[in-house]
């Protein structure tokens, strides 16, 4: 390959910068993407994060012209998959669909994480957010959240709730519910949100805070009772279900998922990826698909998403400390 005078001049300009920041050299010399991309999901298939990941992966595969493979690495409240993503090469071919658990709640729950949510990752874009639904098994015999609270107070420590594991959103939401209502409920952690839902459907536990996508079909079939949604607005998919934030002041836990890349990922890759994510999220097709299962598109740029994560992290850390919520050893 011959070296032209122009290419030599261009190299002379880039080389000093590349020595300081190798990503500049990567971005200048290599197109992206040229091979399949792996999207790590730190939770089991079937939950909010997994559904959002697969919808995003399908849309982005078309946009970027490369296959995006969803890689579920569940366990330890998202720690296993998130650590794997943090240790992956920063080349744009391994990404993480991080969540409120992996990048906000866990900061308050653990003294030492196997990853640093800030230093080990580059925020790319928000993806989706959604409310949580308080669902109960019909065997509880209650009709609304008021009756559930009354029954719980009359039977302290006897009513149970499931979660996708210690430290997950479903766990923290229920603990916040206990603190807000002055009730005593027994926690039954499962290895994943999907298994927690299965336990509730089987009557092994009395209630749980679940996502709209997961709980909606079971509520419609009558297998579960929806007693309320978090926040101050009713969910579009469950218009008859009351908003818990209106009766339980300040009770508004939600869930969200966003795209992160390992720290050091070339800025040109992050920019292209962020723009692509926002474009597909703003499309009528993907917005409609998300809305059908109770999700709201969360299209943000890297800086805006980083600010959102910082604010939400502080909110959860404050709530965890204020309510004395401690982490059970995993």
Same domain flag for 37 and 49: yes
pLDDT at 12 exceeding the cut of 60? no
Whether residue 311 has pLDDT greater than 90 = yes
Tokens encoding 324 = 């004395």
286 shares a domain with 219? no
Q: Which of 247, 268, 298 corresponds to the end of one domain?
A: 247
Q: What is the CATH number of the domain that holds 190?
A: 3.40.190.10
Residue 6 belongs to a domain: no
Residue 277 belongs to a domain with what CATH number? 3.40.190.150
Q: Which of 223, 247, 271 is the last residue of a domain?
A: 247
156, 193 Cβ separation under 8 angstroms: no
Range of the domain at 282: 17-130+255-322
pLDDT at 22 over 50: no
Q: What pLDDT shows up at residue 1?
A: 39
Higher pLDDT, 21 or 260: 260
Residues 99 and 25 in one domain: yes
Look at 44 and 181; give whichever has higher pLDDT: 181
pLDDT of 283 over the 60 cut: yes
For the chain, what is the mean pLDDT? Answer: 89
Beta bridge pairs of residue 27: none
> Which tens digits make up the pLDDT trace of 151-164?
999 999 999 999 98
**Region 190-196: what's the mean pLDDT?**
88
Same domain? 191 vs 208: yes
- Does residue 217 sit in the same domain as residue 264? no
> Region 237-265: what's the mean pLDDT?
93
Residue 283: inside a domain: yes
One domain, residues 296 and 276 = yes
- Give the pLDDT of residue 18: 45
d(CA 255, CA 250): 16
**Considering the domain boundaries, does residue 4 fall inside one?**
no
| Residue 277 shares a structural domain with residue 200 | no
Is residue 116 pLDDT above 80, yes or no?
yes
Q: Of the segments 70-79, 233-242, 268-277, 313-322, which one has the largest average pLDDT value?
A: 268-277
Same domain, 198 and 287: no
- Does 5 reside within a domain? no
- 94-98, 213-217, 255-259: least confidently modelled range: 213-217
Indicate the number of domains in the chain. Answer: 2
Can you give the C-alpha Rg of the chain in angstroms?
Answer: 22
pLDDT digits (tens, 9 = 90+) for 166-175: 777 898 899 9
Last residue of a domain, one of 213, 229, 247: 247
Residue 48 pLDDT grade (very low, low, confident, very high; cuts 50, 70, 90) = confident
Percent of the chain with pLDDT over 90: 67
- Clarify whether residues 154 and 204 are in a common domain: yes
């Amino acid at each position: 390959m011959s070296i032209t005078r122009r290419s030599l001049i261009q190299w002379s300009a880039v080389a000093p910068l590349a020595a300081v920041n190798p990503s500049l050299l990567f971005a200048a010399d290599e197109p992206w993407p040229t091979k399949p991309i792996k999207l790590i999901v730190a939770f089991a298939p079937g939950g909010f994060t997994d559904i959002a990941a697969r919808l995003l992966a399908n849309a982005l595969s078309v946009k970027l012209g490369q296959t995006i493979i969803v890689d579920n690495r569940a366990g330890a409240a998202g720690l296993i998959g998130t650590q794997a993503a943090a240790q992956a090469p920063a080349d744009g071919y391994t990404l993480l669909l991080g969540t409120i658990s992996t990048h906000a709640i866990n900061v308050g729950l653990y003294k030492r994480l196997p990853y640093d949510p800030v230093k080990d990752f580059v925020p790319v874009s928000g993806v989706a957010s959604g409310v949580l639904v308080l669902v109960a098994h019909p065997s509880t015999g209650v009709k609304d959240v008021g009756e559930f609270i009354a029954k719980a107070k009359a039977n302290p420590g006897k009513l149970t709730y499931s979660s996708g594991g210690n430290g997950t959103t479903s766990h923290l939401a229920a603990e916040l519910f206990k603190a807000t209502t002055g009730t005593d409920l027994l926690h039954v952690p499962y290895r994943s949100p999907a298994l927690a839902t299965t336990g509730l459907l089987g009557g092994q536990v009395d209630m749980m805070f679940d996502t709209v996508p997961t709980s909606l079909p079971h509520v419609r079939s009558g297998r579960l009772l929806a007693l309320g949604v978090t926040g101050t607005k009713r969910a579009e998919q469950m218009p008859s279900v009351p908003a818990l934030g209106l009766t339980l002041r300040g009770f508004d836990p939600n869930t969200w998922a966003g795209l992160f890349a390992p720290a050091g990922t070339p800025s040109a890759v992050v920019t292209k990826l962020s723009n692509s994510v926002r474009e597909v999220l703003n499309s009528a097709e993907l917005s409609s698909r998300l809305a059908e299962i109770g999700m709201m598109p969360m299209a943000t740029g890297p800086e805006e998403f980083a600010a959102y994560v910082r604010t939400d992290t502080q909110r959860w850390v404050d709530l965890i400390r204020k309510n004395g919520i401690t982490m059970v050893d995993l």
